[in-house]
Amino acid sequence: MKENNLKGRVRYMDLLNDNDNDLKINVDEITSYKSFISNPQLIENKVLAVVKNDELMFYAVSPSLIKTISKANVKVAQIDEADHKKHKFIDILNEWLHQKSLLWTPRHLAEVQPRANKDLITFFRDDFVEDITSQDILDFIRRVESRNNFDITHRLYRDIHAVMRYAISIGVITHNIAEPLRGALLPNVVVNQKTITKKDLPTLLSQISLAKFSEGKIMNHAFQLLALTFLRAQELMGSSWSEVNFEEGIWIIPAERMKMRRPHTVHLTSQMVTVLEIIKANHFHPAYIFYDKKRDTAIKNERLINSLYKIGYKGKMTAHGFRALASTILNEEGFNPDVIEKQLAHIDSNSVRRAYNRAEYIEDRNKMMQWWSDFIVEQCPTFIETKQATLNL
């Protein structure tokens, strides 16, 4: 609590429970214990409330006032006891982050935590959640907007909104004072991930199949599986052989590696199996599917976008663009949107609909994924080569 805000948070208290209400003396100043000790003259002709670590320690009354005021009817201001029952914003924020850390990927948490430390904690450090007003949040928003970074402004607003919603859920406040401010934010123009069109797909696949990447053929195989599986770049490149079950024909990415922290299943098509068998025969590592020999770890997912740049697709195509293109084409082909969204590992934004839609669409997803793999090969027959080895898996 800021000391200069304490004056407005006081009330009178009868020290002796006296019924004489004729004489009242208000606290003239609130000061820290450190300031009081180092500067005793602060007390001159004043009644001081001395605080330490935001807690009232004692009242200090100038001797000159004591001489003229009867102790029996002195009433001094005290910090409102209700403050001791209030909740610091920083504490609620940290609780919320802890709860989310159990659901978010480490990568996402690493994005949210720094901006919370830099902006939210700095601005609201000493404030109680119960006392923060919509105007306070608007002041904060305008301060961030002054940096001309509207994307981070919107992200921070969503963070505040979520913290307040969490505070409601644990009974700290009754309504979300951030909600009315949605329309007050300056618009943030979201630039979608770059992706090519359907007619440009054969050319891209052909260029990838012919490309000689610095990491070797393993990168060509990474692009093959990126195009076939709909996985995000980090989900694909961090994969291990333990996730792939050839016998059951499934590839299960564990929750801790998924963006939404839910396990995700990719149903292996014949083309996926071919690529995985080639990798296992020619680039096998006991743990990683995409192994970086130089660094003795998995190849970083950033290598995908860098490789696209090297073959001339900077500003035209991204690793995420394969997911967007697949979604567009499959929707155009009339596949069930729910099946497409499930395979993309998206979560329905409609919480009610999500609660009732528990379907996994296993058979439909199998058929759709095989159709997609066949479609990819039709666009470029040389994109996936013939198996170079036969393995007993």
Examine the domain organization and report whether 238 and 356 are in the same domain: yes
Residue 273 CA to residue 270 CA, distance in Å, equals 5
Confidence of residue 125 (pLDDT cuts 50, 70, 90): confident
Q: Is the domain of 208 the same as that of 301?
A: yes
Q: Is residue 287 part of a domain?
A: yes
More confident residue, 292 or 355: 292
The values of phi and psi at residue 55, to 5°, are -120, 140
Q: In whole angstroms, give the CA distance from residue 103 to residue 141.
A: 27
pLDDT at residue 79, rounded to an integer:
44
Say if residue 9 is in the same domain as residue 128.
no
Quick one: pLDDT band at residue 347, thresholds 50, 70, 90? low
pLDDT band at 63 (very low <50, low <70, confident <90, very high): low
Residue 18 falls inside a structural domain: yes
Mark which of 28, 54, 83 sits at the end of a domain. 83
**Do 220 and 348 reside in the same domain of the chain?**
yes
**Counted domains in the chain:** 3
Question: Is the predicted pLDDT of residue 357 greater than 70, yes or no?
Answer: no
The H or E element containing residue 318 is none
Residue 384 domain-assigned (yes or no): no
Domain of residue 300 covers: 198-379
Mean pLDDT of 138-163: 89
Instruction: DSSP letter for 84, please.
Output: G
What is the pLDDT averaged over residues 24-39? Answer: 68
Q: Which of 149, 184, 219 is the last residue of a domain?
A: 184
Q: Is the pLDDT of residue 112 over 70?
A: yes
Question: Is residue 89 scored above 70 in pLDDT?
Answer: yes
pLDDT above 70 for 302: yes
CA quadruple 62, 66, 68, 71: dihedral, nearest 10: 140
Q: What is the pLDDT of residues 173-215, one digit of tens each?
A: 999 999 988 888 887 655 556 788 899 999 999 999 999 998 8
CB 123 within 8 A of CB 140: yes
Give percent of the chain above pLDDT 90.
Answer: 43
Can you give the CATH number for the domain in which 173 is found?
1.10.150.130
In a domain, 386, yes or no: no
- 238 and 365, same domain (yes or no): yes
Confidence (pLDDT) at 189: 54
Query: Same structural domain for residues 321 and 302?
Result: yes
Q: What is the mean pLDDT of the chain?
A: 80
Q: Both 239 and 364 in a single domain?
A: yes
Q: Are residues 71 and 103 in the same domain?
A: no
Q: What is the CATH number of the domain that holds 360?
A: 1.10.443.10
Final residue belonging to a domain, choices 32, 50, 83:
83
What global pTM score does this model have? 0.53
> Do both 225 and 355 map to the same domain?
yes
Residue 245, classed as helix, strand or coil, is strand
- The answer to whether residues 227 and 205 touch, using CB atoms and an 8 Å cutoff, is yes
Per-residue confidence at 71, pLDDT binned at 50, 70, 90?
A: very low
Cβ count near 289 (within 10 Å): 27
In a domain, 16, yes or no: yes
> How would residue 392 be classed by pLDDT, with cut points 50, 70 and 90?
very low
- The span from the CA of 309 to the CA of 303, in Å, is 10
What pLDDT, on the 0 to 100 scale, is given for residue 96?
94
Q: Are 246 and 341 members of one domain?
A: yes
pLDDT digit string (tens) for 250-283?
999 988 888 767 788 899 999 999 999 999 999 9
Residues 6+ apart with CB under 8 A from 273: 246, 249
- What's the chain's length in residues? 393
In terms of domains, do 158 and 51 share one?
no
Say if 385 falls within a structural domain.
no
Q: Is 390 inside any structural domain?
A: no
Map residue 108 onto helix, strand or coil: helix
Distance of alpha carbon 1 from alpha carbon 126, whole angstroms: 4
Regarding whether 302 and 348 lie in a shared domain, the answer is yes
